[in-house]
Structure 1
Amino acid sequence: MSADSAQEKAKRSAGAAPVVCEHPPLLSAAAGPEPPEPPVSASKEPTCGHGRPGAVERRSAAVPGPGPSADGRVSPAGKAQQGLKERYRLGSLLGRGGFGSVFAATRLSDGAPVAIKRVPRNRIHHWGQLPDGTRAPLEIVLLDKVSAGFPGIVQLHEWLELPSNVVMVLERPERSQDLLHFIWARGFLCEEVARHLFRQVLEAVRHCASCGVLHRDIKPENILVDLATGQAKLIDFGCGTYLQAAAYTSFAGTPSYSPPEWTHLGWYHGEAATVWSLGVVLHQMVCGEHPFRRGWNSTWGRLSLPRRLSPECQDLIRRCLSVLSSERPSLEDLSCDPWMQDIRVP
């Protein structure tokens, strides 16, 4: 067992007993311990990867640095940074990784909690165009396409391009926890709770597809749970790209959530890879652990599921994790699955 797997097992063992099923809102304080500030990515596993397909451009144009300009006035970038400090009060660090850093913050005008994500410009390699013609990092372009008015995806309030960083101000539920820590605190989730959350994640993923966006890094760390309302939100589009019918031949995301066709053949289709990662997430919800935490080869064709799971739940997980991508259900098939509808097949 790797060091990371041992740490995960220890954390699960230290967690509370499995959650007792109840009707939504399911995620009140009574359902588990008071959460810590949610990290953006608890996994030490590297995310994203090589270039993303799609019509995007690299951008290397210099931006004026902060401080006084030659005529004694504050530069536009300096004013933007100063304005950010005047509008938000920065709080604790929520997460740090290859993408940059995310901090809790408070909007001073109304006291609303927000998250401020800071990404170094030298780590942004792909840019696109917003509807008004503004050039922006691809992550922001994708968020703009999918988030407005859709509750299952984190909302982007504003963004700023500074000399060394791009800053995003994002929605942050006041009491929230990423799904990985939500599971760890309970050991595993009963099927009712898992279904309630999984439906929302699937709805968010289908919404992304309808907007022509592929997330590519669906995992519990990238699903935020509002503990007051039970709302699940898909976050972090930093590995995302435009959805295409053709196969992708470059990978972006978290390796342990990549489908076998990428591992063994070097290509994958967007929908089939998404369904695979959703199957891994569902397994983590109801079993409390990653199905392939000891490696793909050691579990080839031998996916063992607890007997306490309903036949419908077991069938759905196995179909999502079919070795052949052609045997996995489509996103539409998933939404109509008997387990998703809470229908028991005699």
Structure 2
Amino acid sequence: MKRKSLFDDSGNAGPSEKRSKEQAVTRATSLGLPGKATSSRLVIKTRVSRRRSLPALKATHCDEPINGASTVESASTVQGASTVESSPPTQRERASQCDQPTQREQGTQSVRRKRKTCFRDLDSEDFQAAKKICISLAPSSKYSWKLPLTKLWGICRKIFGGLKQKVFGKVPDPASFSAQYYVGRVLGTGGFGSVHDGTRKRDGKNVALKFIRKGDHEKYLTFPGTSLKLPLEVGLQLMVSRPPACDHIVELLDWFDEPDYIIIVMEHPFPCMDLIGVMRHITCGAMREDYARRIWQQAVLACRQCRDRGVLHRDVKAENLLLQLDTFRVKLVDFGCSDLFQEELYSEYLGTLLYCPPEVFIEGTYGGDKATVWSLGVLLYAMVNANLPFRDAEEICSGDDFPFITGLSDECRDLIKWCLRQNANRRPSFEDILQHEWFQGPQH
């Protein structure tokens, strides 16, 4: 049964009230609105007044007296409507007029929107408000009825699932990972898990599949005001990939949260090779400056895109940069060490030791942008010198004394030294790097 509105007095309306409602319908029709356009506005007022206190029904804030006997003339200016005389409004109508929501209340009402349950409904504000939490996947030490009930439910599902397979045969879930992708050869392994070559079944698209082993504590992103949580690496890649996307960051295509693994499906450009492979098999050592300039500039743009989207990569190195050989386009990959970007200093560092800035060892804290610029300086030095500038933490903290190969331009040397300054506050920003005179050199 439809609930009657608090402002619906059609059953007891007098001639003057019926005349006022006919005026409202006439105005709505003249504006091109449907006949029931006024009902939605009444619902909004009803919801606001119900959140307010009950005495709001009393017209105590009106400027005019409630029992006024004078007749008020109201002239309608909506598309040439004629002047209509209206009788004095009733006490309930005056109370509802006094109870109109203010602009501040309307803004509050718009914030209290429907709880989001789909990742496609998330917008940039949701991602900016995302918070990282640590969810324990290990069983709790305290006894709880949830644990045995969960185990019992899992056993029942296995029993009935086995009986269903014997009777009806195995019916794969069309939304499952195995029903959508083929897993190919191993592309790389690490402490996180492994990366495989893969193929999407519906269109034969070549993809890269990253299998991340779940540990006792997995980091997730929660979105305030929603019922959603994402694995940290997946959430950070989604933050970076939101349109307008950057061409220099690998695209996230899909992801699956399995019992033992988190599977990330990414684009796999072909033909491509990481920078270590390019220097080992193609350039056979140091790169020419014009090639290094084109590659390194794209790496800087990728890092700036991450910063602008609220993500700190923290592991910018040659192994994490893919070069598409036919288009010479660079893709930044592997967000396993990434975190939410913050203006405050970080106290925990994740990444590669030889790309780590000296303030991590000396002070124990570091800034996100300044540490990224240091890693970019180490990367550029390695590209044009065919080796890394430091061998251990002691050399990283010792100073700016690192040799260059002969034939390197003064502009390139100056840019590397600028990025690798011991004082983090004296390092350039991303914008300073892109405006450096080294990028004004000859382009080939």
TM range (shorter): 0.7 to 0.9
The alignment partner of 2:208 has SS state of strand
Is the aligned partner of 1:60 residue 2:154?
no
The alignment partner of 1:83 has SS state of coil
Structure 2 counterpart of 1:188, one-letter code: A
Is the aligned partner of 1:260 residue 2:358?
yes
Residue 121 of structure 1 deviates from its aligned partner by 1.4
Is the aligned partner of 1:221 residue 2:221?
no
Q: Deviations over 1:252-285 (max 9, x none)?
A: 1111111011112111111110000000000011
The alignment partner of 2:134 has SS state of coil
Aligned length: 288
1:172-321 matches, within 5 Å, as 172-185=268-281, 186=283, 187-293=285-391, 296-297=394-395, 300-321=399-420
Instruction: Identify which of structures 1 and 2 has the higher relative contact order when contacts are C-alpha pairs closer than 8 Å and 6+ apart.
Output: 1
User: In structure 1, what is the Cα distance between the partners aligned to 2:342 and 2:278?
Assistant: 33
User: In structure 1, what is the Cα distance between the partners aligned to 2:236 and 2:197?
Assistant: 22
Q: Deviations over 1:59-93 (max 9, x none)?
A: 2358997995443358xxx9669832232221111
**Cα 1:103/1:319, change in 2 over 3 Å:** same
- Structure having the higher Rg: 2
Q: TM-score, normalised by structure 2?
A: 0.60
Which consecutive unaligned segments of at least 5 residues does structure 1 have? 1-53
**Cα 1:324/1:79, change in 2 over 3 Å:** farther
| Contact persistence 1:184–1:288 (CA under 8 A) | no
Residue 300 of structure 1 deviates from its aligned partner by 3.0
User: In structure 1, what is the Cα distance between the partners aligned to 2:202 and 2:318?
Assistant: 32
Residue 179 of structure 1 deviates from its aligned partner by 1.1
User: In structure 2, what is the Cα distance between the partners aligned to 1:146 and 1:171?
Assistant: 14
The alignment partner of 2:178 has SS state of helix
| Contact persistence 2:272–2:324 (CA under 8 A) | yes
The alignment partner of 2:389 has SS state of coil
Structure 2 counterpart of 1:163, one-letter code: P
The alignment partner of 1:266 has SS state of coil
Is the aligned partner of 1:146 residue 2:244?
no
1:54-203 matches, within 5 Å, as 55-60=131-136, 69-72=158-161, 83-122=176-215, 125-129=218-222, 133-148=227-242, 149-185=245-281, 186=283, 187-203=285-301
User: In structure 2, what is the Cα distance between the partners aligned to 1:129 and 1:302?
Assistant: 45
The alignment partner of 2:236 has SS state of helix
Give aligned-pair identity as a percent. Answer: 36
Q: Deviations over 1:5-45 (max 9, x none)?
A: xxxxxxxxxxxxxxxxxxxxxxxxxxxxxxxxxxxxxxxxx
Partner of 2:428: 329
Q: Deviations over 1:97-146 (max 9, x none)?
A: 11111101111222211111111111663110369742111111100000
User: In structure 1, what is the Cα distance between the partners aligned to 2:173 and 2:237?
Assistant: 21
Which consecutive unaligned segments of at least 5 residues does structure 2 have? 1-129, 139-149, 166-170
| Contact persistence 2:250–2:332 (CA under 8 A) | yes
User: In structure 2, what is the Cα distance between the partners aligned to 1:256 and 1:334?
Assistant: 21
Partner of 2:51: none
**Cα 1:154/1:330, change in 2 over 3 Å:** same
The alignment partner of 1:106 has SS state of strand
User: In structure 1, what is the Cα distance between the partners aligned to 2:179 and 2:312?
Assistant: 35
Structure 2 counterpart of 1:122, one-letter code: G
User: In structure 1, what is the Cα distance between the partners aligned to 2:155 and 2:368?
Assistant: 41
The alignment partner of 1:114 has SS state of strand
The alignment partner of 2:418 has SS state of helix
The alignment partner of 1:122 has SS state of coil
**Cα 1:103/1:65, change in 2 over 3 Å:** farther
The Cα RMSD (Å) is: 2.7
Structure 1 counterpart of 2:326, one-letter code: A
User: In structure 1, what is the Cα distance between the partners aligned to 2:261 and 2:174?
Assistant: 10
Structure 1 segments (4+ residues) deviating >6 Å: 62-67
**Cα 1:161/1:309, change in 2 over 3 Å:** same
